[in-house]
Amino acid sequence: MLKIAKNSLKLSANSCLNPIRQISLSSALNLKRIEKTEDKTTNTITIEGKYIDPKETFGTGVLDLTGQCYQDTDEAVRPCAFCELEKRDIKVQYTDVLVLRQFLTENGQILPRKVSGLCKKQQKKLIVLTKQAKHAGLILNLQPTLLDGTKPSADHSKRFKYLKWNTYFDDYETMKRNKKFL
């Protein structure tokens, strides 16, 4: 019997001798709920796994960052990523490089709105924050090779005059009030 199972399923001898439990006794990811239904007329028991709504499992702490923003349309649809973060009082600033990098290509270009899924307001904010991060030296401003064959230095200490010093900005809301960078 062992030889037949090994040949038909093309399993190694170790996997046939040590079977792996395929059914878990506890829900590992809480993605499905096991429901048992009994039909007394036909004397059948049906056990099935039904998908659970993530908000029901994990609470309202789940961020759904897909879809259009409610600011772009009249109907109530899912907000864009930045609007969802603002709704939860999380302010994205130019120092949040890990968040900003998700909206950049490999060569440092900002993704268009169709690809990023941001609304007009948040796309403009993304452009401003990315410019600030590049100017502060947090995101490498990728530049092509110069005509003489050298590459521009990414080292701040080799920059010209005042540009070699660190740059710090106010938060986005303060700059918005003062009409800077907008």
Domain layout of the chain by residue ranges:
93-143+153-178
- Distance of CA 45 to CAs 22, 35, 38, 125, Å? 20, 10, 4, 56
Per residue in 32-66, pLDDT (tens digit) is 777 888 988 898 888 888 877 666 655 554 444 44
Here the contacts of 172-178 (C-beta below 8 Å, separation 24 or greater) are 172/91, 172/92, 172/93, 172/94, 172/125, 172/128, 172/129, 173/91, 175/128
106-157 pLDDT, tens digit each: 777 888 888 888 888 899 999 989 988 887 778 876 665 667 776 666 555 6
Q: How high is the pLDDT of residue 6? A: 45
SS3 178: helix
Topology of domain 93-143+153-178 in CATH is: 30s Ribosomal Protein S18 (4.10.640)
The per-residue pLDDT for 67 is 46
Distance CA 35, CA 41 (A): 19
